[in-house]
Amino acid sequence: MNYKWLLALKKPSNKLWVTAATWALVTAIFVFSLRLGARTIEVGTLPNIEQETVESLLNVIASSMLAVTTFSLSIMVSAFASASSGATPRATDLVMGDSTTRTAITSFICAFIYAIIAKTALGMAFYAQNGRFILFISTIAVLLYLIITLIRWVYTLSQLGRLGNTLEKIEQVTQKALRQYRLSPMMGASSTHVLSKQTKQVEALSSGYLTHIDMQSLQRKAEAIDGYIHIHVRPGELISPDTLLCEVETQNDVELEDLRQCFIFAKGRTFEQDPSWGFIVLSEAAQRALSPAVNDPGTAINIMAIMMGLLVEKEDEQQADGLEYDRLSIISLDCNEWIRDAFSPISRDGAAILEVNLVMQKVLASIWRNAPDKDVSAAAFIMAKQAFERASHALTLQDDIQLLTEKHQNLFK
């Protein structure tokens, strides 16, 4: 249950309001605690600041931050719509999870709350001389912080929701998932284990996409029943109620529902434990660029270059994790899916565009030669051949076909 709550709080759609609510509470506590802090200082030690001086500063913060927050939220919603229409709706969560955006919105809301509470407390004569001085200093600090945040926010607004910025975010989360996979391809479990014929099977009993597997909880449960668990699914798979999640080898009683709770389902896929999803989202952005309504093959070419960079990145074998969960084993991930998910839709939608096909052959040839995974390399070779054949039927000018043929033959000698 704690694992599910942690995942829920990490969702970009929840991070924004959770962060704002948390810091708003901290702000309220801070304003009220100023009086207690001021009491520890001898009366008359600190300079006397007139109440009107502090109130004027608080009025500036209260009036401006409400307008800035409203404006920022409208810009943020526009950025979400821009990311959805310019790249793919699946990228909206990444724009929503932008740390600078979250920090800016939270800062503006908390500054507004700070000003309102502090102004009310001043009107009630809540602070004495020392308290007013400390409140004055803290208000100056808040203003300086807001100035810095606004400067950063202006730069973020110039980038947020733009296609290049959205593609960069997709690349970053895909790269993170790929590196995590390369460090631990089996998610810390074993790749092979011979199960006995007497095993207990755990079926999903529900449908959706498998987004996460709580390996730590499965390991603890396997130790508790003195057994062994073999996992038959990987994050990213579409699960039906009769899908076999895992098999349990033990002589003791097993609560199958407890094991089932370690598999987290959702209506859509996520990036964290699912490298394939990043390539699918990138491919969707390329497909949109190749659509007749957009007709932007340059974006599709840029996306293929991004994919190439992700797939040829060398893994650091010295940092590879060993066996972390000795009572768990899991099926291997089919890395061929990365090539199919990434390039097959682009090959189909861009088959009649010579420039797209030429770059695709170059990209696939580079992956074929440089990919650290042999399966990915082999899949790139097959995909290059399929893309060439598809383009040969779609291109209408014989000179274009001849040029593509020569390029394919030279790259894959």
- State the chain's mean pLDDT as an integer: 87
Q: Compute the distance between CA of residue 153 and CA of residue 147 in angstroms, rounded to an integer.
A: 10
The two tokens of residue 21 are: 């609510």
Label residue 319 exposed, middle or buried (CB < 10 Å: 0-12, 13-18, 19+).
exposed
Assign 282 a pLDDT band (cuts: 50, 70, 90): very high
Output DSSP code: residue 91. G
Q: Compute the distance between CA of residue 98 and CA of residue 93 in angstroms, rounded to an integer.
A: 9
- In our burial notation (b when 16+ CB lie closer than 10 A, e otherwise), range 167-204 reads bebbbebbbebbbebbebbbbbbbeeeeeeeebbebeb
Predicted confidence at residue 317, as pLDDT, reads: 55
| Percentage of residues of the chain with pLDDT beyond 70 | 92
The CATH homologous superfamily to which domain 184-266 belongs is Pyrimidine nucleoside phosphorylase-like, C-terminal domain (3.90.1170.30)
Q: Compute the distance between CA of residue 50 and CA of residue 35 in angstroms, rounded to an integer.
A: 16
Query: What pLDDT digit, counting tens, does each position of 136-167 carry?
Result: 888 999 999 999 999 888 888 888 888 898 99
Assign 35 a pLDDT band (cuts: 50, 70, 90): confident
How far are the Cα atoms of 64, 65, 66, 154, 410 from residue 150, in angstroms, in the given order?
A: 12, 11, 14, 6, 53
Predicted confidence at residue 78, as pLDDT, reads: 84
Predicted confidence at residue 6, as pLDDT, reads: 61
Q: Which of 19-33, 102-116, 167-181, 303-317 has the lowest mean pLDDT?
A: 19-33
Q: Compute the distance between CA of residue 278 and CA of residue 172 in angstroms, rounded to an integer.
A: 9
pTM above 0.85, yes or no: no
Higher pLDDT among residues 139 and 96, named by residue: 139
Q: Compute the distance between CA of residue 160 and CA of residue 73 in angstroms, rounded to an integer.
A: 12
What mean pLDDT comes out for the span 104-113? 87
Q: Compute the distance between CA of residue 104 and CA of residue 184 in angstroms, rounded to an integer.
A: 35
Assign 94 a pLDDT band (cuts: 50, 70, 90): confident
Assign 122 a pLDDT band (cuts: 50, 70, 90): confident
Q: Compute the distance between CA of residue 310 and CA of residue 268 in angstroms, rounded to an integer.
A: 23
The two tokens of residue 382 are: 């097959």
What mean pLDDT comes out for the span 391-401? 94
Predicted confidence at residue 15, as pLDDT, reads: 60
Predicted confidence at residue 34, as pLDDT, reads: 74
What mean pLDDT comes out for the span 13-27? 72
Domain ranges of the chain: 2-161, 184-266, 275-316+333-411
Assign 253 a pLDDT band (cuts: 50, 70, 90): confident
Q: What are phi and psi of 222, to 5 degrees?
A: -65, -40
Q: Compute the distance between CA of residue 365 and CA of residue 358 in angstroms, rounded to an integer.
A: 11
The segment with the largest mean pLDDT, out of 109-113, 133-137, 158-162, 216-220, is: 216-220
Predicted confidence at residue 77, as pLDDT, reads: 83
Assign 37 a pLDDT band (cuts: 50, 70, 90): low
How far are the Cα atoms of 8, 34, 136, 344 from residue 43, in angstroms, in the given order?
A: 48, 14, 16, 75
Query: What pLDDT digit, counting tens, does each position of 61-86 carry?
Result: 988 988 888 888 888 888 888 888 88
Cross-sheet strand order for the sheet of 200-203: 200-203, 244-249, 228-231, 328-330
Higher pLDDT among residues 2 and 167, named by residue: 167
Instruction: Report the interhelical angle of 275-290 vs 336-349 (nearest 10°).
Output: 10
What is 229-261 written as a DSSP string? EEE---TT-EE-TT-EEEEEE-SS---HHHHHT
How far are the Cα atoms of 55, 56, 114, 136 from residue 52, in angstroms, in the given order?
A: 5, 6, 17, 11
Does the pLDDT value for residue 227 go beyond 80? yes
Long-range contacts of 44-47 (CB under 8 A, 24+ apart): 44/129, 45/130, 46/129, 46/130, 46/133, 46/134, 47/133
What mean pLDDT comes out for the span 25-34? 80
